Structures are given as structure tokens and as C-alpha cells.
């Protein structure tokens, strides 16, 4: 589901994705795009707190409700005031906390630890997980009713390697950002270095990509060649490192078209004729892969092509 639609949701949203795919970033973007943007955005990481602490931090507690509860304490839910509560790592919540979260989501009610009366909750919840919740449901580790409630508005963040166009743009953007940050304005990526970055599997997703761009910019001046990349990136083979059939095919199709367009001087008509497809098909693929003809022509002029 698109972010602008999610920004209209007032109940609960689930963000799923591997570590570093941008769940926290997306939760903040959704909040910023919503009518709640001037209200609080409060984040709680369920993985880092014990069950008792989670409940006392979230729901608040009354004095004397457990050892160490020396005074009444407000919970995050009291402080939301129409804003957004970001519940990170919801898969880590205990079954007891899950039950309370379901009541909170369905009835907008919660009860502080040690209290006997409910309070009303005024806010929107964005939950995030890097676990497969359905698998947890099957193992009895996650409540089915809560799972289905969370799935109504859910958004899955793709792994970086799953979308080659997004990956290419992310490399460009983050490389540029780090150039500016470190004032290394003459740094650039050679074609071969860029191809290796595109073929890498990025298990740490966007976070790893940002760190890698920082490493390259800090450690190198001028043109960065494939040999300047960390050793594991120099040995990338798309056939080995891309597991999905469509990704591999798209990778090679894009490389093929880039090569042919370069061979034929960046001329679309001529390239289409020479490789035996219609001009319309070639143009649609140029759009699909976000191929920049102007860049190809510039590369030809500069004599930078390093061969594929
Ligand atoms: N689409 C994006 N555009 C720009 N930066 C992004 C994007 N997605 C993620 N990032 C950056 O990548 C890093 C990791 O993102 P984030 O912390 O949101 O991931 P996460 O999925 O919440 O990770 P974790 O599971 O470890 O909590 C951050 O520095 C964030 O700024
Ligand atoms: Mg996060």
C-alpha cells in the first residue's frame, strides 16, 4: 500500500521488512505525511525491554504495583495526545502484552499496571517487524486475531536487491550525499565499480548501502575502481548472488541494452533495428530500467566505457 494512503489511516499500520530496509524511516515519513504531523511521534522498541517494563513504559503504572514502583508513572500512551505510537519489533511482544495490544487497537482502551479502570487512547499505532508473523502464528507464538488486525493496513518494505532500479537510484543518491558531507567533490564511481555494487546482495539493505558509500568516499579520492571496493564486492557474480529468476533476467536485459545502446552511439532507432525489436519496445524498456541516453552519450564522448 502506498505511503500517502497509509498516512490517512487512523487505526493501526504494520510495516514488515528485513533489518535496514527502512521501517523506522517509513514510520516517520507516514507520521510526517499525516494530519498528526505536529503531534508527538513516540517510538518504543519491544525487543529491548522486559515484559514488565514494556507494559509499565507503554501503559504507565500505579505506585506500589510492583517492586520499585515508588510513584505513579504515566506511560507513553498517555503522552501520544493524538500523535503516532511506533511499536518496533512487535514480534517480540509476549502473548500477554499482545492481548493488551489487541484491546488497545480494537477498543482504544488500556489499563495502567496495577490499576483497575481503563483509560482511553487517542492516537494511531504503527507497528513494525522483521519477523514473519504468520510463521509465528502457526507456532503459537503470535496471536492470530492480532495478526489479522495488523494485516488490514500493511506495507512490506522490499529488500534492496529486489528492485534494481531503486538500488541504482539509492547508490547515486547516497554516493552524492556522502560526497557533499565529506566535501570529496571529485569522487566518482567507475562503470565496473557501479556494476559490482548493483550485483551485490546487500544483506544489510539500505543501512549497509549508506555505510558502504561512506566508506568509499572517506577512503578514496577521484575515480573509484572495482579494485577499490571491499574484497567481497569485487567477486560478485549476479548468477550466483541473485537468487530470483526475474531479477537475474532483468539485470542481464538491462546490461545488454546498455551495451547495445552504447555500441550504437546511444541512438534508439538504430539500436532497436540492429537488435531486432521495435522502437516502441525499446523505449518502454529504456523507461522501465531508467536508462539515461544522455549519460550513455556522455560516456561515449568521454571514452569511459570499460566493456561489459
Ligand atoms: N528509502 C530510504 N531513503 C533514504 N534512507 C533510507 C531509506 N530507507 C532506509 N534508509 C536509511 O537506512 C538506514 C536504516 O533504515 P531504518 O532504520 O529505517 O531501517 P529499519 O528497517 O528500521 O532497520 P531495523 O530493522 O534494524 O530497525 C537509516 O540510516 C535510514 O536513514
Ligand atoms: Mg528500525
- Going residue by residue through the chain (308 aa), what tens digit of pLDDT does each one get? 788 899 999 999 999 999 999 999 999 999 999 999 999 999 999 999 888 888 899 999 998 888 888 889 999 999 999 999 999 999 999 999 999 999 999 999 999 999 999 999 999 999 999 999 999 999 999 999 999 999 999 999 999 988 888 999 999 999 999 999 999 999 999 888 888 898 888 999 999 999 999 999 999 989 999 889 998 887 766 666 665 677 778 878 988 999 999 999 999 999 999 999 999 999 999 998 888 899 888 878 766 544 44
Please tell me the number of the ligand nearest to residue 158's CA. Answer: 1
User: What's the CA gap between 224 and 189, in Å, rounded?
Assistant: 5
C-alpha pair distances (Å), 184 with each of 156, 175, 179, 218, 249:
35, 10, 5, 8, 35
| 3-class DSSP assignment, residue 16 | strand
Among 25, 30, 43, 128, residue to substitute to test ligand 1 (most atoms within 8 Å of Cβ): 25
Given this model, what pLDDT does residue 298 score?
A: 84
User: Which atom of ligand 1 is least distant from the CA of 173?
Assistant: 4
- H-only helix segments in 34-94: 51-59, 76-79
Residue entry with cell 479502570 = 117
Residue pair 232/243 in contact (Cβ under 8 Å)? The answer is no
Given this model, what pLDDT does residue 188 score?
A: 95
**For residue 262, what are the contacts with CB-CB under 8 A and spacing of at least 6?**
296, 299, 300, 305
Q: Does the Cβ of 25 fall within 6 Å of ligand 1?
A: yes
Q: Does the Cβ of 211 fall within 6 Å of ligand 1?
A: no
Q: Does the Cβ of 20 fall within 6 Å of ligand 1?
A: yes
Given this model, what pLDDT does residue 299 score?
A: 79
User: Which atom of ligand 1 is least distant from the CA of 15?
Assistant: 21
Q: Does the Cβ of 205 fall within 6 Å of ligand 1?
A: no
User: Which atom of ligand 1 is least distant from the CA of 128?
Assistant: 22
Given this model, what pLDDT does residue 25 score?
A: 97
Given this model, what pLDDT does residue 244 score?
A: 67
Q: Does the Cβ of 177 fall within 6 Å of ligand 1?
A: no
Whether the model pTM is above 0.85: no
User: Which atom of ligand 1 is least distant from the CA of 209?
Assistant: 12
Given this model, what pLDDT does residue 307 score?
A: 42
**Cα angle for residues 202, 179, 199 (degrees, 5° grid):** 25
Q: Does the Cβ of 19 fall within 6 Å of ligand 1?
A: yes
Amino acid at each position: 500500500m502506498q505511503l500517502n494512503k497509509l498516512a490517512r489511516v487512523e487505526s493501526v499500520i504494520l510495516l514488515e521488512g528485513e533489518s535496514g530496509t527502512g521501517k523506522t524511516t517509513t514510520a516517520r515519513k507516514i507520521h510526517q505525511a499525516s494530519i498528526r504531523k505536529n503531534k508527538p511521534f513516540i517510538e518504543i522498541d519491544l525487543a529491548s525491554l522486559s515484559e514488565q517494563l514494556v507494559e509499565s513504559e507503554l501503559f504507565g503504572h500505579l505506585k506500589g504495583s510492583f517492586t520499585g514502583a515508588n510513584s505513579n508513572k504515566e506511560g507513553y500512551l498517555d503522552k501520544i495526545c493524538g500523535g503516532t505510537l511506533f511499536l518496533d519489533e512487535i514480534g517480540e511482544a509476549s502473548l500477554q502484552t499482545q492481548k493488551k495490544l489487541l484491546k488497545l487497537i480494537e477498543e482504544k482502551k488500556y489499563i495502567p499496571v496495577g490499576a483497575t479502570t481503563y483509560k482511553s487512547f487517542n492516537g494511531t499505532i504503527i507497528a513494525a517487524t522483521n519477523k514473519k508473523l504468520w510463521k509465528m502464528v502457526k507456532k503459537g507464538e503470535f496471536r492470530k486475531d492480532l495478526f489479522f488486525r495488523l494485516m488490514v493496513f500493511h506495507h512490506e518494505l522490499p529488500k534492496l536487491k529486489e528492485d534494481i532500479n531503486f538500488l541504482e537510484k539509492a547508490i547515486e543518491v547516497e554516493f552524492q550525499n556522502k560526497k557533499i558531507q565529506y566535501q570529496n567533490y571529485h569522487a566518482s564511481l567507475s562503470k565496473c565499480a557501479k556494476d559490482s555494487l548493483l550485483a551485490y546482495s546487500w544483506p544489510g539493505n539500505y543501512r549497509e548501502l549508506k555505510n558502504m558509500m561512506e566508506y568509499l568516499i572517506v577512503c578514496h579520492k577521484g575515480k573509484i575502481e572495482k579494485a577499490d571496493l571491499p574484497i567481497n564486492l569485487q567477486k560478485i557474480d549476479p548468477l550466483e548472488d541473485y537468487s530470483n529468476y526475474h531479477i537475474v533476467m532483468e539485470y542481464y536485459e538491462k546490461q545488454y541494452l546498455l551495451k547495445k545502446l552504447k555500441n550504437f552511439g546511444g541512438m534508439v532507432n538504430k539500436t532497436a533495428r540492429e537488435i531486432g525489436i521495435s522502437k516502441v519496445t525499446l523505449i518502454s524498456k529504456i523507461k522501465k530500467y531508467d536508462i539515461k541516453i544522455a549519460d550513455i552519450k556522455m560516456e561515449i564522448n568521454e571514452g569511459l566505457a570499460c566493456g561489459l
